[in-house]
Structure 1
Amino acid sequence: MKITEQNCFYPDAHVYFDPQNHGYPRKDLWVGDRIHCWHVLPRSAIEQQVTIVHLHGNAENMTSHITGSLFLLDMGYALLAFDYSGYGKSKGSPSLKGIQQDAREVFQYVFDHAELFGSVIFGFGQSMGAYTLARILPEFPLLKGAILEAGLSSFYDLFTEVYPFMECSVPHEGFSTLDTLPKSTVPKLFIHGTSDAVVPYSHSIKMHTIAADPKELVILDGVGHIDALLSHHADTYRNKIRDFILKNS
């Protein structure tokens, strides 16, 4: 059995959660007529407009992952969530090159439409989303900060580490965050749990070590994969992210 690029992606089109059914105003947006986005507003906004672009992980779609970002709305920040090609309503099919291009187009759209999103923009990537954000980070120096949670240095590194006995044909050359993180001076907050059974927390340590300053690393003891909000570290997790946003806004 061989691990291929398609083993990186597990999309579906099911609607798991809709924030507008829970009091958060949202609008459907399309980037380039192919990338489906939700622009979600807080129930009560802060004085300074801050928009956080959320990049989700490799399974399901944005409607399941957005539940882990509601705390940002409750802090008064706006959220732009989107689906990669082949996820949710977005057209096409996913690839490692393609998800980076999707994210690239979304961030460019956000910066081109300050009347909708303001000028204080952060990226928040989780798992594959953190990988994707780290890969394109040098291209967006105007980002106020990048929150990189439970990220992987590359899919090749992850698969060959977790499944060393299997052949792996996932692209590696030109697909590692270790190539891009040293080239970006955007402030970075790395977060990872020590009990992550999906992506070992050594990946965030490695990425933090090689990344250019300014940077910060938060290791949460006993926390699983993107599970901080369900743990006894929930307050620490929220506070670290809020403080990072306030410091860099």
Structure 2
Amino acid sequence: MISFIFVVAGTYLALAGIMYVAQRNFQYFPQHSARTGFEEPGKFGLDGFVAASIETDDRETLVSWLALPPKPDVPVILYMHGNAGTLGDRAERFGVFHREGFGVLVLSWRGYGGSTGSPTETGFIEDGRAALKFLQQKGIAASRVILFGESLGTGVATQLAANPDTSPLAVILEAPFTSAADVARTRYWFLPVDLLMKDQYRSIDFAPKVTAPVFVFHGTTDRVVPYAQGERLYEAFTGPKEFLRMEGNGHIDPLTEVSWGAIKDFLKANGAAPD
């Protein structure tokens, strides 16, 4: 019996050790080969967009697509994508934003389609800051920027919005989590996730510090990020906010007349839509 206990304990510790060392391989899923993001945005039917490189303070180079606002003082959507796919997979959304009169900047995270580096939480926050700095160099202050976070990108958007130095005009969060650790715990319930996980994206801790208006929408049948986490994070925001329950939707479904219409109405009500 004692030998059996030692074998089980040793196996468990070995598994925990492997998960700790290789955890980012389990957490991030960058796509490098197909539709890498090197392509010009015009190849995806995005009129008015140009490809641009963004340099981060830690010397990474990020692929980005930019559509400048059609006139001064128009809001700019800074889109922060989720954990899979590339910019080309989201081109339809970007076109909608631009046709509705918004300026748009979308960036490919470090380690993802066309960008240098490797994914980490601190790295992604640096990427977001670099994108805001890039816009500032174009004459677009953070106070004119709408942060649109998708899934993993909501963790970055929430942290940036909580910083008074980068406080945006508004925040849109699609399928957000309370923390990446909470998501991981639903899958790796047998491991001490809070002790092992390096990149936890603890949005629940940053949410109360966000003063900008926040719009949250989440599918009720989301199997990647539990719907209940989106509700709980929403409750943690203390400023102007709105929640849209997407009945029967999964994880990151296409924008619809209902979802995009609700977002536009929210932005207009909070002074964050084009005139």
Q: CA shift at 1:18, angstroms?
A: 5.5
**Secondary structure at 1:191 match in 2:** strand
CA shift for structure 1 position 9: 0.9
Which residue matches 1:66?
91
Contact 2:41 2:65 in 1 (8 A): no
Deviations 1:121-169 (A, max 9, x none): 1111100011211122122554110000001122111010233134542
Q: Which has the larger radius of gyration?
A: 2
Preserved CA contact (<8 Å) 2:46 2:95? no
* Partner of residue 93 from structure 1, selected from 89, 94, 118: 118
- Cα distance in structure 2, aligned partners of 1:98 and 1:47: 31
Contact 2:52 2:64 (C-alpha < 8 Å) held by counterparts: yes
Q: Does 1:15 align with 2:35?
A: yes
Question: C-alpha separation between the residues in 2 aligned to 1:194 and 1:160?
Answer: 19
- Kept in 1, the 8 Å contact 2:142–2:166? The answer is no
Question: Unpaired segments of 5 or more residues in structure 2?
Answer: 1-14
Structure 1: state its 5+ residue gaps.
Answer: none
Aligned partners of 1:5, 1:40: CA distance in 2, in Å?
32
Alpha-carbon spacing, 1:95–1:18, altered in 2? closer, same or farther (3 Å): same
Which residue in the other structure is 2:208 paired with?
Answer: 182
Which amino acid in 1 is paired with 2:126? Q
- Report how many residues are paired: 241
**What does 1:70-89 align with in structure 2 at a 5 Å threshold?**
70-89=95-114
1:5 is aligned, of 21, 24, 39, to 24
Amino acid of the residue matched to residue 25 of structure 1? G
Structure 1 residues 160 and 59, CA, compared in 2 at 3 Å: closer, same or farther? same
Comparing 76-85 with 18-27, greater Cα deviation is found at 18-27
Contact 1:61 1:83 in 2 (8 A): yes
Alpha-carbon contact 2:80-2:107 (below 8 Å) kept: yes
Alpha carbons of 1:118 and 1:158: their partners in 2 closer, same or farther (altered >3 Å)? closer
Q: What residue identity is the alignment partner of 1:89?
A: G
Per the normalisation by structure 1, the TM-score is 0.86
Letter in 2 for 1:189: F
TM-score, L = length of structure 2: 0.79
Higher RCO by CA contacts (8 Å cutoff, separation 6 or greater):
1
Q: Which residue of 1 aligns with 2:9?
A: none
Superposition pairs for residues 19-38 of structure 1, below 5 Å?
A: 19-21=41-43, 22-32=45-55, 34-38=61-65
Between the aligned partners of 1:190 and 1:18, the Cα distance in structure 2 is 31
Given the superposition, is the C-alpha separation of residues 126 and 204 from structure 1 closer, same or farther in structure 2, using an over 3 Å criterion? same
> Are the counterparts in 2 of residues 145 and 188 from structure 1 also a CA contact under 8 Å?
yes
Tell me which of 207, 218, 221 is aligned to 2:247.
221
- Paired AA for residue 236 in structure 1: V
More helix by share: 2
Structure with higher strand content:
1
Residues in 2 aligned to 1:118 and 1:180: alpha-carbon distance in whole angstroms = 18
- What's the CA shift for 1:171? 2.5
Deviation at 1:72, TM superposition (A): 1.4
Task: State percent identity of aligned pairs.
Answer: 25
Shift of 1:105: 1.5
Report SS of the residue matched to 2:65.
strand
Correspondence for 1:114: 139
1:94-243 residue pairs with structure 2 within 5 A? 94-114=119-139, 120-139=144-163, 140-166=165-191, 168=193, 169-171=196-198, 175-229=201-255, 234-243=256-265
CA contact 2:31–2:113 (8 Å) conserved in 1: yes
Q: CA deviation at 1:69?
A: 3.3
Asked if structure 1 preserves the Cα contact closer than 8 Å seen for 2:81 and 2:152, the reply is yes
